[in-house]
Chain A
């Protein structure tokens, strides 16, 4: 079956602009995660959805970042007033139920570059 997909694969924007990054999880997976990975670092947790609700948004760095999952499948990460420090690879992952021992399946990521 299809894995996690993310679009676009690359996004270049200017400082101050608004961007949306999309994630299509594996069908049937109720848990969805967003991570951010800066160069030379491991992924950092941003937000976790269980179904349609954001169960844990403790990793969002500030209120410029927001994410939605209105129908419990596709999710969109939204970044307002982008800054150069937002440049990173944004990774999405899904798992079956969000249990501690569930495997998280990662998408290929969106590389965001803020000029």
Chain B
């Protein structure tokens, strides 16, 4: 089952504008990660934010986490045409029975950046 829900499902913006994607989840997490996927194939890890962190930056990416609301947002500033891709949030939850951690992905936001 999928825990995360991204919003919006699709987003179209002009190059240079900022893009904001949101993610909500249901259970307690160890950390939350954002991934990017081009053309429905391999995913690329973008950024990880731990459950005790509220904000994290990496280049043009800014991620926030609100554990009280069980939500996160990804902001891409000064977007470029090359940012066109699908973006997924993934929560990391412990499977205590197996002693392991699972990544649970949402359905993703499809971002189109128009040159």
Which A positions have Cβ atoms within 8 angstroms of B?
A: 4, 33, 35, 37, 39-45, 48, 50, 55-56, 58-59, 89, 91, 93, 98-101, 103-109
Q: Is the interface of B mostly helix, strand, loop or mixed?
A: strand
Q: Is the CB of B106 within 8 A of A42?
A: yes
What's the count of A-B pairs with C-beta under 8 Å?
A: 73
Q: Is the CB of B100 within 8 A of A48?
A: yes
In the complex, the chain B residue whose C-beta lies closest to that of A50 is: B100
Which B positions have Cβ atoms within 8 angstroms of A?
A: 2, 4, 30-31, 35, 40-45, 48, 50, 88, 90, 92, 94-95, 98-108
Q: Is the CB of A101 within 8 A of B31?
A: yes
Would you give the shortest CB distance from A36 to chain B, in whole angstroms?
11
CA distance A7 to B102 in the complex (A): 24
Q: What chain B residues lie within 8 Å of A101 (beta carbons)?
A: 30-31, 48, 50, 92
CA distance A74 to B4 in the complex (A): 30
Q: Is the CB of B101 within 8 A of A98?
A: yes
Q: Is the CB of B98 within 8 A of A106?
A: no
Q: Is the CB of A103 within 8 A of B48?
A: yes
